[in-house]
Amino acid sequence: MENARLRQSVVGATEVIEELEEPPMPPLVEDNFVIPAYIVSDFARLGRQLDREHLVRATMGSLATIHPEQPGVMISTKHMVTLPRMNERSLCAAPLGSTSPRGAPPDWHVLEVLLASVSVVTGGPASVIHMHGPHTTAASCEKDLVLLTPIDNLGKEHIGKIIIVDPDMEQPEDYLRQVAEALNQGGMRCVVVRGNGAYAVGADFDQAWANAAMLEHSMHIHLLARQANLKV
């Protein structure tokens, strides 16, 4: 009987934790489209998880995906949204190829280009995470470094080549082209922007998250190996 009571207590505690971790979210209703509650919840869930793993911090970073029910619509976090505390008011959306909506992040068109590139490969679904992992960001700051190859086996297998692109706000069209090319050359998993984190992509948020975590892990190992002067 005591064991049964303990099990029931654990089950009850788990349910309370799940309710706190994943509170129900209302949908976002705009003029021409609706973002269902489950999509809003996915954004909120991922924002909290990325913050716990230090892949994003507070307002640093952004998330975007193609609307699963309206493939011509892109959904993104707004500019300067606190990612671990998102709700339906944290999101904005607009048709692909249109002007960025009110409140859109400054890299809206970068996110758009990456989503379009992934969508061509997957045949539709695509998601992207702009993460600011400290090890990835630090490794990218090395002057003139353009190509990085993970030295750990998991990184070699799951990430492969890592292309670093220099940000260029004065020539945005050329910059967008370079980002798309770097993603393709890097195996359609990620592209690193010098001093500004990385964009990890996937068919859905979980796949993009896995690529972001693997990239940051490999870059941590890369920096540790350099610090120890290991011959690799």
| Mean pLDDT, residues 14-27 | 60
| 7, amino acid identity | R
Q: Read off the pLDDT of residues 159-205 as tens digits, 9 standing for 90 and up.
A: 989 999 999 888 999 999 999 999 999 899 999 999 999 999 999 99
Confidence label for 9 from pLDDT (cuts 50, 70 and 90): low
User: For the chain, what is the mean pLDDT?
Assistant: 90
Q: Which CATH superfamily is domain 24-227 in?
A: Class II aldolase/adducin N-terminal domain (3.40.225.10)
Give the strand order in the sheet containing 198-202. 91-95, 73-77, 62-66, 127-131, 198-202, 190-193, 162-165, 147-148
Rounded mean pLDDT of 16-38?
A: 72
**Mean pLDDT over residues 18-47, rounded?**
80
What's the pLDDT tens digit per position in 60-70? 999 999 999 99
pLDDT bin (cut points 50, 70, 90) of residue 23 is low
pLDDT one-digit tens code per residue, 76-117 = 999 999 999 999 999 999 999 999 999 999 999 999 999 999
Looking at residue 231, its pLDDT comes to 76
Please report the pLDDT score of residue 100 as a whole number: 92
12: pLDDT strictly greater than 60: no
What's the pLDDT score for residue 7?
A: 67
Structure tokens, 69:
């029910």
Q: How far apart are CA 182 and CA 172, in angstroms?
A: 15
Share of the chain above pLDDT 90, in %: 74
Does the structure show a pLDDT above 60 at 34?
A: yes
More confident residue, 230 or 147: 147
The pLDDT of residue 4 is: 66
Confidence at residue 19, expressed as pLDDT on a 0 to 100 scale: 52
Query: Domain map of the chain by residue range?
Result: 24-227
pLDDT band at 121 (very low <50, low <70, confident <90, very high): very high
Among residues 141, 133, 139, 143, which one has the least CA distance to residue 198?
Answer: 133
Sign of torsion, CA 86 90 95 97?
negative
Query: Do 125 and 138 touch, CB atoms closer than 8 A?
Result: no
